[in-house]
Amino acid sequence: MTFTQSIGVRTYRFDDLKTLLAKASPRRSGDELAGVAAATEAERAAAKLALAAVPLRAFLSEAVIPYEDDEVTRLIVDRHSMDAFAAVSHLTVGDFRDWVLADTTGTDALIALAPGLTPEMVAAVSKLMRNQDLILAAKKRPVVTRFRNTVGLPGRMSVRLQPNHPTDDAQGIAASMIDGLMYGCGDAMIGINPASDSPLAITALLVMMDAFRERFDVPTQTCVLTHVTNTLAAMEVGAPVDLVFQSIAGTQAANASFGVSLALLHEAHEAGKSLGRGTVGNNLMYFETGQGSALSANAHHGVDQQTCETRAYAVARAFDPFLVNTVVGFIGPEYLYDGKQIIRAGLEDHFCAKLLGVPMGCDICHTNHAEADQDDMDTLLTLLGAANVNFIMGVPGADDVMLNYQSTSFHDALYVREVLGLKRAPEFEAWLQALHITDGCGRLRDEAQAPRLIEWMGAP
Protein backbone atom coordinates (compact mmCIF):
# COMPACT_ATOMS: atom_id res chain seq x y z
CA MET A 1 0.00 0.00 0.00
CA THR A 2 1.45 3.37 -1.06
CA PHE A 3 0.65 6.70 0.59
CA THR A 4 1.17 10.22 -0.74
CA GLN A 5 0.76 13.64 0.82
CA SER A 6 1.26 17.07 -0.71
CA ILE A 7 2.59 20.06 1.22
CA GLY A 8 2.79 23.18 -0.89
CA VAL A 9 4.22 22.30 -4.29
CA ARG A 10 5.88 19.10 -3.12
CA THR A 11 4.31 15.65 -2.91
CA TYR A 12 5.80 13.08 -0.52
CA ARG A 13 5.52 9.37 -1.19
CA PHE A 14 5.62 6.60 1.44
CA ASP A 15 5.90 3.10 0.02
CA ASP A 16 4.25 1.14 2.83
CA LEU A 17 2.89 1.37 6.37
CA LYS A 18 6.29 0.60 7.87
CA THR A 19 7.83 3.58 6.09
CA LEU A 20 4.91 5.86 6.91
CA LEU A 21 5.07 5.02 10.62
CA ALA A 22 8.81 5.67 10.72
CA LYS A 23 8.60 9.00 8.90
CA ALA A 24 5.73 10.18 11.15
CA SER A 25 7.67 9.53 14.36
CA PRO A 26 8.88 12.46 16.44
CA ARG A 27 12.58 13.00 15.90
CA ARG A 28 14.93 10.63 17.71
CA SER A 29 18.51 9.63 17.24
CA GLY A 30 17.82 5.89 16.98
CA ASP A 31 15.63 6.24 13.91
CA GLU A 32 18.22 8.50 12.33
CA LEU A 33 20.91 5.93 13.11
CA ALA A 34 18.76 3.25 11.45
CA GLY A 35 18.17 5.42 8.38
CA VAL A 36 14.36 5.29 8.68
CA ALA A 37 13.62 8.79 10.01
CA ALA A 38 12.11 11.69 8.10
CA ALA A 39 14.79 13.73 6.37
CA THR A 40 13.12 17.06 7.14
CA GLU A 41 10.38 18.43 9.37
CA ALA A 42 8.30 18.97 6.24
CA GLU A 43 8.52 15.28 5.41
CA ARG A 44 7.60 14.44 9.01
CA ALA A 45 4.55 16.71 8.82
CA ALA A 46 3.51 15.15 5.52
CA ALA A 47 3.82 11.68 7.03
CA LYS A 48 1.65 12.67 10.00
CA LEU A 49 -1.03 14.04 7.71
CA ALA A 50 -0.97 10.89 5.60
CA LEU A 51 -1.01 8.67 8.67
CA ALA A 52 -4.03 10.49 10.11
CA ALA A 53 -6.03 9.49 7.00
CA VAL A 54 -5.14 5.78 7.15
CA PRO A 55 -8.08 3.52 8.13
CA LEU A 56 -7.39 1.45 11.24
CA ARG A 57 -8.42 -1.60 9.20
CA ALA A 58 -5.29 -1.15 7.07
CA PHE A 59 -3.16 -2.42 9.96
CA LEU A 60 -4.98 -5.75 9.78
CA SER A 61 -4.10 -6.30 6.13
CA GLU A 62 -0.48 -5.10 6.06
CA ALA A 63 2.03 -6.30 8.65
CA VAL A 64 5.16 -4.24 9.28
CA ILE A 65 7.04 -7.54 9.71
CA PRO A 66 5.70 -10.49 7.68
CA TYR A 67 3.57 -13.08 9.50
CA GLU A 68 5.66 -15.98 8.23
CA ASP A 69 8.94 -14.39 9.37
CA ASP A 70 8.19 -13.39 12.95
CA GLU A 71 6.46 -15.08 15.87
CA VAL A 72 5.61 -11.74 17.48
CA THR A 73 3.63 -10.81 14.37
CA ARG A 74 1.89 -14.18 14.55
CA LEU A 75 1.04 -13.55 18.21
CA ILE A 76 -0.40 -10.14 17.36
CA VAL A 77 -2.50 -11.41 14.45
CA ASP A 78 -3.69 -14.64 16.04
CA ARG A 79 -4.80 -12.97 19.29
CA HIS A 80 -6.55 -10.01 17.70
CA SER A 81 -10.25 -9.76 18.56
CA MET A 82 -12.47 -8.53 15.73
CA ASP A 83 -15.39 -8.31 18.14
CA ALA A 84 -13.53 -5.83 20.36
CA PHE A 85 -12.21 -3.96 17.31
CA ALA A 86 -15.73 -3.39 15.98
CA ALA A 87 -16.18 -0.31 18.19
CA VAL A 88 -13.51 1.61 16.23
CA SER A 89 -13.28 -0.38 12.98
CA HIS A 90 -14.81 2.46 10.96
CA LEU A 91 -12.24 5.06 12.11
CA THR A 92 -9.06 6.42 10.61
CA VAL A 93 -5.97 6.91 12.78
CA GLY A 94 -6.83 10.59 13.14
CA ASP A 95 -10.43 9.81 14.06
CA PHE A 96 -9.18 7.26 16.57
CA ARG A 97 -7.07 9.93 18.26
CA ASP A 98 -10.15 12.10 18.66
CA TRP A 99 -12.18 9.12 19.95
CA VAL A 100 -9.57 8.21 22.58
CA LEU A 101 -9.36 11.80 23.84
CA ALA A 102 -13.10 12.49 23.82
CA ASP A 103 -14.74 13.12 27.19
CA THR A 104 -17.38 10.56 26.22
CA THR A 105 -14.75 7.80 25.96
CA GLY A 106 -14.23 6.47 29.46
CA THR A 107 -12.28 3.76 31.20
CA ASP A 108 -14.76 0.97 30.50
CA ALA A 109 -14.70 1.65 26.75
CA LEU A 110 -10.90 1.64 26.66
CA ILE A 111 -10.71 -1.61 28.64
CA ALA A 112 -13.21 -3.30 26.32
CA LEU A 113 -11.30 -2.11 23.26
CA ALA A 114 -7.83 -3.36 24.25
CA PRO A 115 -8.10 -6.89 22.73
CA GLY A 116 -9.12 -5.29 19.43
CA LEU A 117 -6.04 -3.09 19.16
CA THR A 118 -2.76 -4.08 17.57
CA PRO A 119 0.51 -2.47 18.68
CA GLU A 120 0.88 -0.83 15.29
CA MET A 121 -2.51 0.91 15.62
CA VAL A 122 -1.55 2.21 19.03
CA ALA A 123 1.93 3.31 17.92
CA ALA A 124 0.32 5.10 14.97
CA VAL A 125 -2.11 7.12 17.05
CA SER A 126 0.61 8.07 19.54
CA LYS A 127 2.57 9.70 16.70
CA LEU A 128 -0.31 12.14 16.19
CA MET A 129 -0.49 13.14 19.84
CA ARG A 130 1.05 15.95 21.84
CA ASN A 131 2.57 15.14 25.22
CA GLN A 132 -0.56 16.33 27.02
CA ASP A 133 -2.67 13.98 24.89
CA LEU A 134 -0.51 11.02 25.91
CA ILE A 135 -0.89 11.96 29.58
CA LEU A 136 -4.66 12.52 29.44
CA ALA A 137 -5.41 9.31 27.58
CA ALA A 138 -3.14 7.13 29.73
CA LYS A 139 -4.70 8.48 32.92
CA LYS A 140 -8.10 7.29 31.69
CA ARG A 141 -6.83 3.73 31.31
CA PRO A 142 -5.68 2.18 34.62
CA VAL A 143 -4.33 -1.39 34.54
CA VAL A 144 -4.57 -3.14 37.91
CA THR A 145 -2.56 -6.26 38.86
CA ARG A 146 -2.22 -8.34 42.02
CA PHE A 147 0.27 -10.71 43.65
CA ARG A 148 0.77 -9.97 47.37
CA ASN A 149 -0.61 -6.48 46.97
CA THR A 150 -2.58 -4.46 44.44
CA VAL A 151 -0.73 -2.20 42.00
CA GLY A 152 -2.12 0.25 39.44
CA LEU A 153 -5.25 1.55 41.12
CA PRO A 154 -6.22 5.11 40.15
CA GLY A 155 -4.59 7.72 42.36
CA ARG A 156 -1.83 5.35 43.46
CA MET A 157 1.78 4.92 42.38
CA SER A 158 4.09 2.15 43.51
CA VAL A 159 7.87 1.97 43.71
CA ARG A 160 10.25 -0.84 42.88
CA LEU A 161 12.88 -0.83 45.63
CA GLN A 162 16.15 -1.46 43.75
CA PRO A 163 18.91 -2.24 46.30
CA ASN A 164 21.65 -3.21 43.84
CA HIS A 165 25.22 -3.77 44.99
CA PRO A 166 28.36 -4.08 42.79
CA THR A 167 29.45 -7.31 44.54
CA ASP A 168 26.02 -8.66 45.59
CA ASP A 169 27.05 -8.12 49.21
CA ALA A 170 24.11 -9.24 51.37
CA GLN A 171 24.66 -6.62 54.08
CA GLY A 172 24.93 -3.82 51.54
CA ILE A 173 21.75 -4.95 49.82
CA ALA A 174 19.94 -5.32 53.15
CA ALA A 175 20.98 -1.80 54.18
CA SER A 176 19.51 -0.39 50.96
CA MET A 177 16.34 -2.44 51.42
CA ILE A 178 15.79 -1.07 54.92
CA ASP A 179 16.65 2.46 53.78
CA GLY A 180 14.06 2.25 51.01
CA LEU A 181 11.36 0.78 53.25
CA MET A 182 11.92 3.55 55.78
CA TYR A 183 11.14 6.01 53.00
CA GLY A 184 7.96 4.09 52.16
CA CYS A 185 9.27 2.47 48.97
CA GLY A 186 8.98 -1.15 47.86
CA ASP A 187 5.31 -1.76 47.20
CA ALA A 188 5.83 -2.65 43.52
CA MET A 189 8.51 -5.12 44.60
CA ILE A 190 12.00 -5.47 45.99
CA GLY A 191 14.05 -6.30 42.90
CA ILE A 192 17.79 -6.84 42.61
CA ASN A 193 19.87 -6.67 39.45
CA PRO A 194 22.56 -9.19 40.39
CA ALA A 195 26.20 -8.56 39.60
CA SER A 196 26.65 -12.31 39.12
CA ASP A 197 24.62 -14.90 37.25
CA SER A 198 25.91 -17.63 39.55
CA PRO A 199 23.03 -19.93 40.56
CA LEU A 200 24.32 -19.96 44.14
CA ALA A 201 24.42 -16.16 44.31
CA ILE A 202 20.94 -15.83 42.79
CA THR A 203 19.47 -18.37 45.20
CA ALA A 204 21.17 -16.70 48.17
CA LEU A 205 19.65 -13.33 47.24
CA LEU A 206 16.19 -14.85 46.83
CA VAL A 207 16.43 -16.58 50.20
CA MET A 208 17.67 -13.41 51.93
CA MET A 209 14.86 -11.22 50.57
CA ASP A 210 12.22 -13.82 51.32
CA ALA A 211 13.45 -14.27 54.89
CA PHE A 212 13.20 -10.53 55.45
CA ARG A 213 9.75 -10.38 53.88
CA GLU A 214 8.47 -13.22 56.05
CA ARG A 215 10.12 -11.93 59.24
CA PHE A 216 8.34 -8.59 59.01
CA ASP A 217 5.26 -9.76 57.07
CA VAL A 218 5.89 -7.24 54.28
CA PRO A 219 3.03 -7.30 51.75
CA THR A 220 5.23 -7.10 48.69
CA GLN A 221 6.98 -9.38 46.21
CA THR A 222 10.64 -10.04 45.50
CA CYS A 223 12.63 -10.69 42.36
CA VAL A 224 16.18 -11.25 41.16
CA LEU A 225 16.42 -9.87 37.65
CA THR A 226 18.35 -12.68 36.04
CA HIS A 227 17.75 -14.52 32.80
CA VAL A 228 14.55 -16.54 32.81
CA THR A 229 16.48 -19.81 32.47
CA ASN A 230 18.33 -19.01 35.70
CA THR A 231 15.01 -18.37 37.42
CA LEU A 232 13.67 -21.70 36.18
CA ALA A 233 16.79 -23.39 37.56
CA ALA A 234 16.27 -21.63 40.90
CA MET A 235 12.70 -22.93 41.03
CA GLU A 236 13.96 -26.46 40.44
CA VAL A 237 16.12 -26.31 43.58
CA GLY A 238 13.27 -24.90 45.66
CA ALA A 239 14.31 -21.23 45.79
CA PRO A 240 11.52 -18.85 46.92
CA VAL A 241 10.69 -17.25 43.54
CA ASP A 242 7.90 -14.67 43.49
CA LEU A 243 8.14 -12.71 40.25
CA VAL A 244 9.71 -14.12 37.08
CA PHE A 245 11.80 -11.56 35.20
CA GLN A 246 12.87 -11.23 31.58
CA SER A 247 13.87 -8.45 29.19
CA ILE A 248 11.78 -8.61 26.03
CA ALA A 249 11.54 -6.84 22.67
CA GLY A 250 9.12 -6.46 19.79
CA THR A 251 10.58 -8.86 17.22
CA GLN A 252 11.41 -12.54 17.25
CA ALA A 253 15.01 -11.82 16.28
CA ALA A 254 15.46 -9.27 19.06
CA ASN A 255 14.05 -11.70 21.62
CA ALA A 256 16.38 -14.36 20.27
CA SER A 257 19.27 -11.99 20.99
CA PHE A 258 18.07 -12.02 24.62
CA GLY A 259 18.02 -15.81 24.50
CA VAL A 260 14.25 -16.13 24.78
CA SER A 261 11.23 -17.19 22.73
CA LEU A 262 7.50 -17.15 23.33
CA ALA A 263 7.64 -20.85 24.16
CA LEU A 264 10.29 -20.28 26.85
CA LEU A 265 8.30 -17.41 28.36
CA HIS A 266 5.21 -19.67 28.43
CA GLU A 267 7.20 -22.35 30.24
CA ALA A 268 8.40 -19.84 32.83
CA HIS A 269 4.92 -18.41 33.30
CA GLU A 270 3.45 -21.84 33.94
CA ALA A 271 6.27 -22.75 36.32
CA GLY A 272 5.77 -19.55 38.30
CA LYS A 273 2.02 -20.09 38.56
CA SER A 274 2.56 -23.63 39.81
CA LEU A 275 4.32 -22.28 42.92
CA GLY A 276 1.15 -20.53 44.08
CA ARG A 277 3.00 -17.87 46.06
CA GLY A 278 0.61 -15.00 45.39
CA THR A 279 -1.92 -14.16 48.10
CA VAL A 280 -4.27 -11.60 46.52
CA GLY A 281 -3.63 -12.55 42.88
CA ASN A 282 -1.39 -14.49 40.54
CA ASN A 283 0.06 -11.92 38.13
CA LEU A 284 3.73 -12.86 38.40
CA MET A 285 5.72 -11.99 35.28
CA TYR A 286 7.97 -8.94 35.31
CA PHE A 287 9.16 -7.64 31.94
CA GLU A 288 11.52 -4.83 31.04
CA THR A 289 11.62 -3.14 27.65
CA GLY A 290 13.15 -0.05 26.07
CA GLN A 291 13.16 1.82 22.79
CA GLY A 292 16.19 0.91 20.72
CA SER A 293 16.69 -2.66 21.90
CA ALA A 294 15.69 -4.18 18.53
CA LEU A 295 17.91 -1.76 16.63
CA SER A 296 20.87 -2.42 18.92
CA ALA A 297 20.49 -6.14 18.10
CA ASN A 298 20.14 -5.38 14.35
CA ALA A 299 16.73 -7.04 14.60
CA HIS A 300 14.35 -4.18 13.79
CA HIS A 301 13.45 -5.15 10.18
CA GLY A 302 13.49 -1.46 9.20
CA VAL A 303 10.70 -0.67 11.67
CA ASP A 304 11.03 2.52 13.73
CA GLN A 305 12.08 2.02 17.32
CA GLN A 306 8.85 3.20 18.94
CA THR A 307 6.71 0.82 16.86
CA CYS A 308 9.12 -2.01 17.70
CA GLU A 309 8.82 -1.07 21.36
CA THR A 310 5.02 -1.13 21.25
CA ARG A 311 5.11 -4.60 19.69
CA ALA A 312 6.96 -5.75 22.83
CA TYR A 313 3.83 -4.91 24.82
CA ALA A 314 1.91 -7.51 22.80
CA VAL A 315 4.45 -10.05 24.04
CA ALA A 316 4.04 -8.83 27.62
CA ARG A 317 0.24 -8.85 27.72
CA ALA A 318 0.14 -12.46 26.50
CA PHE A 319 1.48 -13.52 29.92
CA ASP A 320 -0.69 -11.41 32.26
CA PRO A 321 2.29 -9.68 33.89
CA PHE A 322 2.35 -8.09 37.32
CA LEU A 323 4.73 -5.34 36.22
CA VAL A 324 6.23 -4.08 32.97
CA ASN A 325 8.55 -1.13 32.68
CA THR A 326 10.34 0.77 29.99
CA VAL A 327 13.92 1.49 31.01
CA VAL A 328 13.53 4.60 28.99
CA GLY A 329 16.98 6.24 28.83
CA PHE A 330 19.20 3.32 29.74
CA ILE A 331 20.48 2.27 26.31
CA GLY A 332 22.03 5.68 25.63
CA PRO A 333 22.06 8.74 23.36
CA GLU A 334 22.47 6.63 20.22
CA TYR A 335 18.75 5.88 20.56
CA LEU A 336 17.35 8.75 22.66
CA TYR A 337 19.75 11.64 22.35
CA ASP A 338 18.66 14.16 24.96
CA GLY A 339 16.17 14.97 27.69
CA LYS A 340 13.50 16.03 25.21
CA GLN A 341 13.63 12.69 23.39
CA ILE A 342 13.71 10.71 26.66
CA ILE A 343 10.67 12.56 28.03
CA ARG A 344 8.70 12.01 24.84
CA ALA A 345 9.64 8.32 24.70
CA GLY A 346 8.60 7.75 28.30
CA LEU A 347 5.18 9.27 27.71
CA GLU A 348 4.73 7.33 24.45
CA ASP A 349 5.68 4.03 26.03
CA HIS A 350 3.38 4.54 29.00
CA PHE A 351 0.42 5.55 26.84
CA CYS A 352 0.87 2.73 24.30
CA ALA A 353 1.22 0.07 26.98
CA LYS A 354 -1.80 1.25 28.95
CA LEU A 355 -3.98 1.38 25.83
CA LEU A 356 -3.02 -2.24 25.11
CA GLY A 357 -3.86 -3.24 28.69
CA VAL A 358 -0.28 -3.62 29.99
CA PRO A 359 0.54 -2.62 33.63
CA MET A 360 3.18 -0.05 32.75
CA GLY A 361 5.82 1.54 34.92
CA CYS A 362 8.91 3.47 33.96
CA ASP A 363 12.54 3.51 34.98
CA ILE A 364 12.96 7.26 34.58
CA CYS A 365 16.64 7.25 33.81
CA HIS A 366 19.55 8.43 31.71
CA THR A 367 23.16 7.53 31.15
CA ASN A 368 25.87 10.02 31.97
CA HIS A 369 26.86 10.49 28.33
CA ALA A 370 23.36 11.54 27.21
CA GLU A 371 22.40 15.19 26.81
CA ALA A 372 20.09 14.94 29.81
CA ASP A 373 20.19 15.69 33.52
CA GLN A 374 18.17 15.25 36.70
CA ASP A 375 15.94 18.22 35.86
CA ASP A 376 14.78 16.33 32.76
CA MET A 377 14.09 13.29 34.93
CA ASP A 378 12.11 15.46 37.39
CA THR A 379 9.97 16.64 34.48
CA LEU A 380 9.28 13.11 33.21
CA LEU A 381 8.61 11.88 36.76
CA THR A 382 6.00 14.60 37.30
CA LEU A 383 4.35 14.01 33.93
CA LEU A 384 4.17 10.24 34.43
CA GLY A 385 2.81 10.73 37.93
CA ALA A 386 0.04 12.87 36.43
CA ALA A 387 -0.59 10.10 33.86
CA ASN A 388 -1.10 7.53 36.67
CA VAL A 389 2.01 5.46 35.97
CA ASN A 390 1.88 2.13 37.80
CA PHE A 391 5.34 2.37 39.34
CA ILE A 392 8.77 3.99 39.24
CA MET A 393 12.20 2.97 40.56
CA GLY A 394 13.58 3.70 43.99
CA VAL A 395 17.38 3.70 43.89
CA PRO A 396 19.53 4.97 46.81
CA GLY A 397 20.53 8.51 45.89
CA ALA A 398 19.17 7.95 42.33
CA ASP A 399 22.63 6.65 41.37
CA ASP A 400 22.77 2.92 40.67
CA VAL A 401 26.25 1.83 41.79
CA MET A 402 26.00 -1.53 40.02
CA LEU A 403 24.41 -0.59 36.66
CA ASN A 404 26.12 2.85 36.54
CA TYR A 405 23.20 5.00 35.45
CA GLN A 406 20.99 7.72 36.93
CA SER A 407 17.45 6.83 37.95
CA THR A 408 14.96 8.05 40.59
CA SER A 409 15.52 8.05 44.33
CA PHE A 410 13.46 7.30 47.42
CA HIS A 411 13.15 11.08 47.90
CA ASP A 412 11.85 11.51 44.35
CA ALA A 413 8.97 9.18 45.18
CA LEU A 414 8.15 11.27 48.26
CA TYR A 415 8.16 14.41 46.12
CA VAL A 416 5.76 13.16 43.48
CA ARG A 417 3.43 11.64 46.07
CA GLU A 418 3.26 14.95 47.94
CA VAL A 419 2.75 17.12 44.86
CA LEU A 420 0.19 14.90 43.13
CA GLY A 421 -1.42 13.26 46.16
CA LEU A 422 -0.49 9.74 45.05
CA LYS A 423 -0.90 6.88 47.52
CA ARG A 424 0.90 3.54 47.74
CA ALA A 425 -0.57 0.08 47.17
CA PRO A 426 -3.32 -0.23 49.81
CA GLU A 427 -1.93 -3.36 51.52
CA PHE A 428 1.55 -1.83 51.70
CA GLU A 429 0.20 1.49 52.96
CA ALA A 430 -1.52 -0.31 55.82
CA TRP A 431 1.73 -2.15 56.70
CA LEU A 432 3.71 1.10 56.77
CA GLN A 433 1.16 2.62 59.13
CA ALA A 434 1.23 -0.45 61.39
CA LEU A 435 5.01 -0.08 61.76
CA HIS A 436 4.63 3.69 62.30
CA ILE A 437 6.73 4.39 59.22
CA THR A 438 3.93 6.59 57.82
CA ASP A 439 0.96 8.35 59.33
CA GLY A 440 -2.66 8.14 58.25
CA CYS A 441 -1.98 10.57 55.40
CA GLY A 442 0.95 8.55 54.02
CA ARG A 443 3.67 10.95 55.25
CA LEU A 444 6.80 9.68 57.01
CA ARG A 445 6.82 9.62 60.83
CA ASP A 446 9.75 10.06 63.20
CA GLU A 447 8.96 7.10 65.43
CA ALA A 448 9.31 4.37 62.80
CA GLN A 449 10.42 0.97 64.00
CA ALA A 450 13.86 1.27 62.39
CA PRO A 451 15.75 -0.52 65.19
CA ARG A 452 13.78 -3.75 64.66
CA LEU A 453 14.48 -3.70 60.93
CA ILE A 454 18.16 -2.86 61.36
CA GLU A 455 18.61 -5.51 64.05
CA TRP A 456 17.60 -8.13 61.45
CA MET A 457 20.77 -7.33 59.46
CA GLY A 458 22.92 -8.67 62.28
CA ALA A 459 20.81 -11.76 62.95
CA PRO A 460 22.51 -15.11 62.29
Residue type, 75: L
Query: What is the spatial distance between Cα 266 and Cα 261, in angstroms, rounded to a whole number?
Result: 9
What per-residue confidence (pLDDT) applies to 221? Answer: 98
What's the predicted TM-score (pTM) here?
A: 0.96
Contact 141, 152 (CB under 8 A): no
Low-confidence ranges of the chain (pLDDT < 70): 447-452, 456-460
User: How do strand 145-146 and strand 150-151 relate by DSSP bridges?
Assistant: antiparallel
Of 176, 186, 174, 185, give the one whose Cα is nearest residue 211. 174
Query: What is the spatial distance between Cα 48 and Cα 261, in angstroms, rounded to a whole number?
Result: 34
Distance of alpha carbon 94 from its chain centroid, rounded? 26
Query: What is the spatial distance between Cα 204 and Cα 198, in angstroms, rounded to a whole number?
Result: 10
- DSSP conformation letters of 8-39: TTEEEEE-SHHHHHHHHSPP-HHHHHHT-S-S
pLDDT tens digits along 15-74: 999 999 999 999 999 999 999 999 999 999 999 999 999 999 999 999 999 999 999 999
DSSP letter for 149, please: S
Query: What is the spatial distance between Cα 250 and Cα 312, in angstroms, rounded to a whole number?
Result: 4
Query: What is the spatial distance between Cα 117 and Cα 335, in angstroms, rounded to a whole number?
Result: 26
Contact 291, 104 (CB under 8 A): no
Strands, DSSP E only, in 31-96? none
**What are the b/e assignments for 423-455, b being 16+ CB within 10 Å?**
bbbbbbbebbeebebbeeebeeeeebeeeebee
Contact 304, 36 (CB under 8 A): yes
What per-residue confidence (pLDDT) applies to 418? Answer: 96
